[in-house]
């Protein structure tokens, strides 16, 4: 849809402080910053962003691109774009946030599971030492969007970012030796501190048996 980004501006919560290189939340960023103070976290955009309050007087602050033309090439604004930009920017944002969390510079995001109509919040595994994109399983060749690796470079948790393609039964089978979760790209961008889990594998059944590796249509029992 042409110019869709103009009607659905994204609420960008994090940006990079150009001088220090640090990630900064909009609520603690400088208002009316000079040009070039903060940079969009979409690698291919890296646009100049400033700070706005939405709605006015609400006390809720977001980054926005200073130049509207910047938005046309920015994954944060491609909400309905099926070209993969939304997926890429969510994946990159989550990697940045997890890397900061591992090094104790940002809070560790919380995983949220819907259980019997309520939300259960869980801290992800904390034995991760590094986070990498596009991790490839050495046995199946299966690629995962994000891997949190332990100090032996083994996956502590794999994260799939859902945008247009959910984890299917073949991928579930290939991920079955690992702990994994699937999180929607739009949810990551909307709130990187609380991550609703769509599906998962090998996590305790209390976090929602319906999201586990079984009972997918067409899946053979041996593929559980
Ligand atoms: Zn941008």
Query: What distances in angstroms separate CA 185 from CA 75, 90, 91, 94, 138, one per listed residue?
Result: 11, 5, 7, 9, 26
pLDDT at residue number 82: 64
What is the pTM for the complete model shown? Answer: 0.85
What is the percent of the chain where pLDDT is above 90?
A: 53
Q: Which residue, 172, 150, 166, 220, is CA-closest to 198?
A: 166
pLDDT at residue number 176: 87
Q: What residues have their beta carbon closer than 5 A to ion ligand 1? A: 40, 42, 45, 47, 74
DSSP, collapsed to helix, strand or coil, labels residue 102 as helix
How far, in Å, from the CA of 127 to the mean position of ligand 1?
A: 32
Tracing tokens 């609380």 back to the chain, one arrives at 194
How far, in Å, from the CA of 161 to the mean position of ligand 1?
A: 19
Domain with residues 85-223, CATH architecture: Alpha-Beta Complex (3.90)
Under the banding of pLDDT at 50, 70 and 90, the label for residue 223 is very low
Among 44-53, 63-72, 98-107, the least confident range: 63-72
pLDDT at residue number 206: 75
Domain ranges of the chain: 4-77, 85-223
On the question of pLDDT at 165 being above 90, the answer is: no
How far, in Å, from the CA of 8 to the mean position of ligand 1?
A: 14
CA contacts within 13 A on the Cβ side of 165:
12
pLDDT tens-digit readout, 110-158: 999 988 788 889 887 678 999 999 999 998 899 999 999 999 999 999 9
On the question of pLDDT at 205 being above 80, the answer is: no
pLDDT at residue number 80: 59
Percentages (nearest 5) of helix, strand, coil residues in the chain: 25, 30, 45
Beta bridge partners of 155: 149
Q: Are strands 194-201 and 23-25 parallel, antiparallel or unpaired?
A: unpaired
């Amino acid at each position: 849809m042409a110019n869709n980004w103009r009607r659905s501006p994204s609420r960008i919560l994090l940006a990079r402080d150009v001088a220090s290189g640090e990630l900064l939340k909009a609520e603690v960023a400088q208002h009316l910053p000079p040009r070039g103070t903060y940079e969009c976290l979409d690698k291919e955009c890296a646009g100049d962003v400033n700070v706005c309050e939405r709605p006015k007087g609400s006390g809720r602050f977001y980054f926005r691109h200073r130049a509207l033309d910047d938005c046309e090439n920015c994954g944060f604004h491609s909400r309905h774009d099926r070209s993969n930009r939304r997926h890429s920017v969510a994946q990159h944002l989550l990697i940045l946030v997890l890397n900061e969390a591992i090094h104790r510079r940002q809070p560790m995001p919380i995983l949220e599971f819907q259980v019997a109509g309520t939300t259960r919040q869980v801290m992800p595994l904390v034995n991760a030492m590094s986070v990498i994109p596009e991790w490839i399983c050495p046995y199946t060749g299966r690629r995962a969007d994000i891997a949190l690796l332990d100090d032996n470079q083994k996956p502590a948790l794999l994260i799939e970012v859902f945008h247009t393609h959910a984890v299917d039964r073949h991928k579930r089978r290939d991920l079955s030796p690992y702990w994994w979760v699937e999180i929607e790209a739009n949810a990551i961008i909307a709130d990187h501190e609380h991550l609703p889990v769509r599906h998962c594998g090998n996590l305790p059944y209390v976090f929602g048996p319906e999201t586990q590796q079984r009972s997918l249509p067409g899946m053979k029992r041996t593929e559980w």
